């Protein structure tokens, strides 16, 4: 027994709360009252903390009432505990009321509690306003203050204020501890400033796994997949062990670059290490293998999963859809529903996209209609964009236009862009101009749509239309993004740009291209200039012949065993001429060539492509 001395009870209560034994802490508080020992200002902070951790708002209100009744309301740490508790209950107004009623607010702990509360409740602007008030009153900050403020800047993507906070730390001579430094790295990355994120990372004398993950996640979120893999190699050199968070980002980078060998090496490594495979990591492996073209292994991993969530199903459905295997994707979606998994909006986007690549118009209509009827989901803009794409690819241009007119919400750029893409496939310039007029108004800086319209005009030899589009692009300062292709060889990713001569094997690559060009012409290949953007046809033909995917393919053919598959990843949609040329290449070299472009996978075998020339 603890007797009648409140100090002994408080000491035990503190121990339970610090060890995270919150339920026992509240039990002890109740026993304390039954024993007739009155609680005091040292009792309540730990009882309130336990109540907040267990998410017991009613009990929290009772404790607050007891605080007032006993007369401990003026105690600083009691008030601070109440602020933190109400913030955990998402009752930030009550937390602010407790703060405003405090007779003395000069103590930093209470300010930190409310700043953290605002950040927890996704009110970052209020957190920054509170800090300014604190600064005006001359209250010094500490690392706990920064841990509440820096994430607020990240949430707001307020790089200027984030830099100011960093500057204040430096000016005041405050050393950045690991936690605060990690927050600043994350803030810079969230705001898109990877230069300063990396500079701060490099300046840190000590780095823990959270530090590495902050930078890896930043590179991943900003689309710098190649930098993710470089950083992973740095981790290996210094002996830093990746955890599930970093592995998910690294596998996502492997998926983006088609770096299956690196991803497979990670897979083997984590098995050897006895790493605990959680559902998030398994989903990352499935996505990586599917996007690297290894559907067989992706499906094997999927089937072996003891527990599958909606992300698991969506990853495998999306993988089959990207490969144009719509029937299999549809079958997987129906299996998911039969297994009791509730489909979400993202899963419907994946299955509708799969229907588009496979020409499953009736099935797509069924899915769109059943979203609300069977699943309680209102179709959103992305679902209508998919359906317009389904109809457009199938040649039902007028039906696609009618669907846009019948939509319950105003179509966005993606919806009109899907119609514009369909018009390119079927050379419908009349509706293409309507779609383009709308998409240019909605997304005036999206250069891809201008290139799409120009290609439509080029295919119809409408040089006046092409000139008009080029003029619009010049006036708006728009340039077509450079084509970039990736190919992995011996666990290293090689990057090629159109006309690139920077690769160490450039001379041999261009000789290989010249030899391929001769073989293609002998096999009947004729360059398709229908998407040429310039008046100088000779110059344009020279550029077509050295597009990035052709350089990558030539490199792959030179450096791989005869008969093996060559996989290339391209950031843009493959052009008509390259698509035709690669079909001929697959025949003359007797190799399977796989190209994943911005639209889908293309499996080139013996002169044919799996997309059936619709992409």
Q: Model confidence over 334-372: pLDDT tens digits?
A: 999 999 999 999 999 999 999 998 899 999 999 999 999
Per DSSP, 273 falls in state T
Nearest alpha-carbon partner for 96 in 86, 107, 109, 108: 86
pLDDT attached to residue 405: 95
In 3D space, the residue among 319, 399, 364 whose CA is nearest the CA of residue 596 turns out to be 319
pLDDT recorded at residue 478: 92
Token pair 């499906």 is found at: 299
The set of residues, in sequence order, having a beta carbon less than 8 Å from that of 213 and lying 6+ positions away, is 243, 245, 246, 249
Sorting pLDDT into bands at 50, 70 and 90, what band is 511?
Answer: very high
The label of the residue with tokens 């093996």 reads: 564
Kindly tell me if the per-residue pLDDT of 538 is higher than 80.
no
**Alpha carbons 424 and 479: distance in angstroms, whole number:** 20
pLDDT tens, residue by residue, 272-329: 877 767 889 999 999 999 999 999 999 999 999 988 999 999 999 999 999 999 999 9
The model's pLDDT over 406-452, given as tens digits with 9 standing for 90+, comes to 999 999 999 999 999 999 989 899 999 999 999 999 999 999 999 99
8 A C-beta contact, residue 544 and residue 578: yes
Encode pLDDT of 416-425 as tens digits. Answer: 999 999 999 8
Which token pair is 481? 């993004």
Q: What is the pLDDT of residue 157?
A: 93
Q: How far is CA 501 from the centre of its chain?
A: 32
Please give the pLDDT value at position 2: 64
Do 323 and 603 contact (CB within 8 A), yes or no? Answer: yes
Q: What is residue 497's three-state secondary structure?
A: strand
What are the distances in angstroms from CA 153 to CA 116, 137, 141, 189, 530?
Answer: 13, 22, 16, 11, 49
How high is the pLDDT of residue 74? 77
210 closest CA partner among 241, 176, 169: 241
What DSSP character marks residue 575? P
443's tokens = 């997304």
pLDDT in tens, 235-277: 999 999 999 899 999 999 999 999 999 999 999 988 887 776 7
* Residue-level pLDDT at 535: 43
Closest CA to 163 of 211, 127, 199, 134: 199
Distances in Å between the Cα of 66 and the Cα atoms of 34, 97, 270, 281, 550 are 15, 17, 52, 47, 76
Q: By the 8 A CB rule, do 13 and 43 touch? A: yes
Query: Which helix (H) or strand (E) segment is 492 a member of?
Result: strand 492-497
Q: What is the pLDDT of residues 15-69, one digit of tens each?
A: 999 999 999 999 999 998 888 888 888 889 999 999 999 999 999 999 999 999 8
- With a pLDDT cut of 90, the percent of the chain lying above it is 76
Q: What angle do CA 532, 536, 542 make, to 5 degrees?
A: 70
Query: How do strand 593-596 and strand 566-570 relate by DSSP bridges?
Result: parallel
CB 512 within 8 A of CB 558: yes
Give the pTM: 0.86
Beta partners for 354?
none
Task: Find all residues with CB under 8 Å of 30, minimum gap 6, and list them.
Answer: none
| Residue 102 confidence class, pLDDT cut points 50, 70, 90 | confident
Taking only the tens place, the pLDDT of each residue in 562-615 is: 999 999 999 988 988 999 999 999 999 999 999 999 889 999 999 999 988 877
Q: CA neighbours within 13 Å on the CB side: how many for 164?
A: 9
599: closest CA among 608, 611, 590? 611
Cβ-count burial 455-491 (b if 16+ within 10 Å, e if not): bbbbbeeeeebbeebbebbeeeebeeeebbbbbbeee
The SS3 assignment for 496 reads strand
Mean pLDDT for 160-176 is: 83
The pLDDT tens digits of the residues spanning 182-206 come to 999 999 999 999 999 999 999 998 8
Angle at CA of residue 543, ends 472 and 608, nearest 5°: 105
- Rounded CA-CA distance 83/98 in Å is 6
Place of tokens 């304390």: 32
From CA 32, how far away is CA 2, in angstroms rounded?
A: 9
- What pLDDT is stored for residue 366 in this prediction? 96
Q: How far apart are the first and last CA of the chain?
A: 77
**For residue range 477-510, what is the model confidence (pLDDT) as tens digits?**
998 888 899 999 988 999 999 888 999 999 999 9
Q: Indicate whether 454 pLDDT > 60.
A: yes
What pLDDT was estimated at residue 190?
Answer: 95
Helix (H, G, I), strand (E, B), or coil: what is residue 411?
Answer: coil
CA atoms of 152 and 162, how far apart (whole Å):
9
340: left (phi over 0), alpha (psi -120 to 50) or beta: left
Residue 261 parent element (H or E): helix 260-272
Query: Which residue in the block uniquely carries the two structure tokens 């000016």?
Result: 171
Cβ atoms within 10 A of the Cβ of 178, count?
14
Residue 108 near residue 142 (C-beta atoms within 8 A): yes
């Amino acid at each position: 027994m603890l007797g009648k001395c409140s100090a002994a009870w408080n000491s035990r209560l503190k121990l339970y709360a610090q060890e995270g034994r919150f339920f026992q802490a509240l039990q002890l508080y109740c026993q304390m009252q039954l024993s007739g020992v009155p609680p005091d200002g040292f009792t309540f902070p730990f009882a309130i903390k336990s109540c907040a951790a267990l998410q017991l708002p009613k009990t929290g209100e009772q404790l607050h009432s007891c605080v007032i009744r006993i007369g401990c309301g003026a105690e600083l740490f009691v008030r601070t505990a109440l602020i933190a508790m109400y913030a955990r209950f998402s009752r930030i107004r009550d937390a602010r009321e407790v703060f405003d009623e405090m007779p003395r607010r000069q103590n930093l702990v209470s300010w930190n509690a409310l700043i953290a509360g605002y950040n927890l409740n996704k009110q970052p602007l209020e957190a920054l306003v509170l800090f300014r008030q604190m600064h005006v009153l001359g209250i010094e900050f500490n690392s706990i203050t920064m841990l509440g403020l820096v994430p607020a800047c990240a949430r707001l993507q307020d790089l200027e204020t984030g830099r100011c906070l960093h500057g204040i730390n430096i000016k005041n001579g405050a050393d950045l501890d690991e936690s605060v430094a990690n927050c600043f790295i994350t803030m810079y990355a969230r705001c898109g400033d990877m230069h300063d994120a990396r500079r701060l990372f490099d300046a840190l004398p000590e780095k823990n796994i959270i530090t590495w993950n902050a930078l890896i996640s930043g590179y991943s979120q900003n689309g710098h997949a190649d930098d993710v893999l470089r950083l992973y190699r740095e981790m290996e050199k210094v002996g830093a062990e990746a955890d599930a968070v970093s592995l998910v980002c690294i596998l996502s980078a492997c998926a983006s670059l088609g770096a299956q060998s690196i991803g497979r090496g990670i897979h083997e490594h984590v098995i050897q290490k006895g790493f605990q495979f959680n559902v998030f990591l398994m989903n990352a492996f499935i996505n990586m293998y599917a996007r690297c073209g290894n559907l067989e292994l992706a499906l094997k991993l999927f089937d072996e999963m003891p527990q599958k969530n909606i992300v698991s199903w969506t990853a495998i459905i999306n993988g089959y859809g990207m490969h144009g295997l719509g029937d299999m994707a549809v079958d997987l979606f129906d299996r998911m529903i039969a297994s009791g998994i509730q489909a979400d909006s993202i899963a419907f986007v994946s299955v509708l996209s799969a229907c588009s690549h496979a020409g499953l118009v009736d099935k797509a209509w069924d899915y769109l209609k059943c979203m609300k009827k069977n699943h309680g989901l209102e179709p959103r803009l992305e679902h209508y964009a998919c359906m317009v794409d389904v109809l457009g690819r199938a040649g039902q241009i007028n039906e696609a236009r009618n669907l846009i007119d019948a939509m319950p919400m105003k179509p966005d750029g993606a919806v009109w862009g899907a119609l514009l893409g369909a018009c390119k496939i079927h050379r419908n310039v009349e509706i293409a101009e309507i779609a383009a007029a709308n998409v240019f108004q909605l997304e005036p800086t999206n250069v891809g749509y201008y290139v799409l319209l120009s290609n439509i005009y080029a295919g119809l030899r409408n040089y006046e239309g092409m000139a008009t589009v080029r003029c619009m692009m010049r006036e708006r300062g728009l340039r077509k993004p450079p084509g970039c292709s990736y190919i992995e060889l011996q666990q290293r990713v090689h990057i090629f740009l159109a006309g690139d001569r920077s690769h160490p094997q450039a001379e041999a690559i261009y000789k290989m291209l010249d030899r391929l060009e001769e073989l293609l012409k002998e096999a009947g290949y004729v360059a398709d200039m229908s998407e040429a953007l310039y008046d100088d046809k000779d110059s344009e033909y020279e550029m077509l012949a050295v597009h990035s995917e052709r350089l990558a393919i030539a490199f792959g053919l030179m450096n791989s065993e005869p008969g093996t598959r060559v996989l290339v990843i391209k950031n843009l949609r493959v052009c008509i001429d390259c698509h035709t040329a690669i079909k001929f290449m697959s025949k003359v070299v007797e190799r399977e060539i796989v190209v994943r472009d911005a639209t889908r996978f293309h499996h080139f075998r013996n002169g044919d492509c799996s997309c059936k020339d619709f992409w």
